[in-house]
């Protein structure tokens, strides 16, 4: 994964967040605590997150692997607790994580109001068992922002280096079709409009 930012920005992030690895890359037996989380994820009322439509399974990629879609603009961290976010993530992922899967994250038009904090990211990642991470084969970020690229660089350099090669930046929606049949799901209109606003002329080149 390439990161187009200067050494000063990267060093600032390191200074603020530290460089302690999560050491979560070796298989371990699923704990009773996580089994309880799976049970709660199935039973608790998570209607508010579900209604937002920010996270859902949508079809398969070109290798036949289930695709999980995350619409960043539709996620509102201030409206939910970290625990609710974790439970909903487990609810969506648990049916597919016993096999290989991929994730598409649409970063289009996200603002600071939609961003997951580093501390949320660290806590949620640390609670997911090994097979959730191992079976994630590709994570595609569409229209990545500078902050997204910077945070991803830091997280995969210092906290979870084993997944670094799985992260890919996609700058044009049409490039998704190289790896995922995007007709498997409806891409929200605001994402298509944003894509056209930054890449429109390229579509009309002879």
User: What's 123's domain CATH number?
Assistant: 3.40.525.10
- Across 93-114, average pLDDT: 95
Q: How many domains does the chain have?
A: 1
Average pLDDT for the chain:
84
pLDDT given at position 178: 87
Residue 124 lies in a domain: yes
What is the rounded CA–CA span in Å between residue 95 and residue 90? 9
pTM of the model: 0.83
What is the rounded CA–CA span in Å between residue 47 and residue 61? 28
Residue 3 lies in a domain: no
Residue 14 lies in a domain: no
pLDDT at 5 over 60: no
145: containing domain: 40-203
Who wins on pLDDT, 69 or 126?
Answer: 69
- From residue 57, alpha-carbon distances to 21, 61, 202 in Å are 30, 11, 30
Who wins on pLDDT, 30 or 124?
Answer: 124
Give 141-199 pLDDT, tens digit per residue: 999 999 888 888 888 887 788 889 999 999 999 898 888 876 677 889 999 999 999 98
pLDDT at 9 over 60: no
Give 73-92 pLDDT, tens digit per residue: 999 999 999 999 999 999 99
pLDDT given at position 140: 95
Residue 30 lies in a domain: no
Residue 7 lies in a domain: no
pLDDT given at position 119: 83
Would you say 116 and 75 are in contact if contact means Cβ atoms under 8 Å apart?
A: yes
Would you say 154 and 17 are in contact if contact means Cβ atoms under 8 Å apart?
A: yes
Residue 199 lies in a domain: yes
Who wins on pLDDT, 201 or 117?
Answer: 117
pLDDT at 52 over 50: yes
Backbone dihedral angles phi then psi of residue 141, each to the nearest 5 degrees = -105, 115
Query: What would the two tokens of residue 192 be?
Result: 């298509």
Cα 106 from chain centre: 9
Who wins on pLDDT, 10 or 96?
Answer: 96
Window from 10-14, 25-29, 60-64, 198-202 with minimum mean pLDDT: 25-29
């Amino acid at each position: 994964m390439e990161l187009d930012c200067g050494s000063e920005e990267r060093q600032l992030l390191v200074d603020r967040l530290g460089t302690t690895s999560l050491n979560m890359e070796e298989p371990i037996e699923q704990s009773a605590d996580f089994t309880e989380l799976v049970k709660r994820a199935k039973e608790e009322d998570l209607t508010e997150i579900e209604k937002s439509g920010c996270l859902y399974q949508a079809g398969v990629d070109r290798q036949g692997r289930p695709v999980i879609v995350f619409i960043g603009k539709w996620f509102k961290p201030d409206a939910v607790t970290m625990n609710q976010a974790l439970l909903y993530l487990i609810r969506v992922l648990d049916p597919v994580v016993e096999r290989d899967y991929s994730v598409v994250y649409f970063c289009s038009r996200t603002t600071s109001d939609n961003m997951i904090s580093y501390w949320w990211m660290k806590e949620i990642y640390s609670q997911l068992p090994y097979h959730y991470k191992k079976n994630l084969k590709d994570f595609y970020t569409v229209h990545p922002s500078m902050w997204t690229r910077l945070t991803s660089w830091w997280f995969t350099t210092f906290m979870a280096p084993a997944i670094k090669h799985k992260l890919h930046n996609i700058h044009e929606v049409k490039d998704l079709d190289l790896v995922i049949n995007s007709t498997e799901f409806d891409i929200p209109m605001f994402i298509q409009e944003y894509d056209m606003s930054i890449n429109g002329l390229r579509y009309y080149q002879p």
